[in-house]
Chain A
Amino acid sequence: DAGITQSPRHKVTETGTPVTLRCHQTENHRYMYWYRQDPGHGLRLIHYSYGVKDTDKGEVSDGYSVSRSKTEDFLLTLESATSSQTSVYFCAVRGTGELFFGEGSRLTVL
């Protein structure tokens, strides 16, 4: 599992509230990613990081921000959650030519 943990694993929140998901890795990988998984859409890249304080947008970045202040942690923040952000969020790290995924964080926005 490349030492990846996501927290929280499950969260229910209300529209308009801020939410932060955390991805923690223990193997010092340079690249980290946040994807969302939705039926009929597969996995879509939200943001990714290629180093400490180095991040870039993916294909569905609107409404999300990220931060990476240290190698092991990559935070995904929804500043004001909306119902369309109800999803399963996966963190991934790049190993030797492949991605290793976390177990996912299921977010429900009511």
Chain B
Amino acid sequence: AQRVTQPEKLLSVFKGAPVELKCNYSYSGSPELFWYVQYSRQRLQLLLRHISRESIKGFTADLNKGETSFHLKKPFAQEEDSAMYYCALSGLTGGSNYKLTFGKGTLLTVNP
């Protein structure tokens, strides 16, 4: 079974402060990890995927297989970063079909 845990429902920081959104996963195979973001009243959109190892909007995330974590980080938060963030894991089902499992999400609020 695949599982994604985001321990923080809410996270509030001040503008310019560093931010880290935690994500831990459970999966028996080799996982593919993602971060999706949902701004107010908008559809979910991909922010990062671990295989691309790129920085988007100043966010980075490193896959740590030893700790089974994929934490999202940004050194200096901006007010426009306020959104709901979902960590997600993809893996193959028993029938070799592709399925994406999401965590429960963390609502990030960046205060002025």
Are A43 and B102 CB-contacts (below 8 A) given A56-B97, A98-B49?
yes
Are A42 and B100 CB-contacts (below 8 A) given A98-B49, A102-B43?
no
Complex contact A40–B97 (CB within 8 A): no
Total inter-chain residue pairs, C-beta < 8 Å = 53
Q: Is the interface of A mostly helix, strand, loop or mixed?
A: strand
Complex contact B43–A97 (CB within 8 A): no
Residue in A35, A48, A58, A99 with the greatest tally of chain B CB atoms within 10 Å: A99
Q: A31, A58, A90, A98: which contacts B34 (Cβ < 8 A)?
A: A98
Query: Other than the known A42-B6, A45-B101, what 11 A-B pairs have Cβ atoms closer than 8 Å?
Result: A42-B102, A45-B99, A45-B100, A48-B97, A48-B99, A50-B97, A56-B97, A92-B100, A98-B34, A99-B36, A101-B44
Can you name 14 A-B residue pairings with CB atoms under 8 Å?
A31-B97, A31-B98, A41-B104, A42-B103, A43-B86, A45-B99, A45-B101, A48-B97, A56-B93, A56-B97, A58-B99, A99-B36, A99-B44, A104-B43
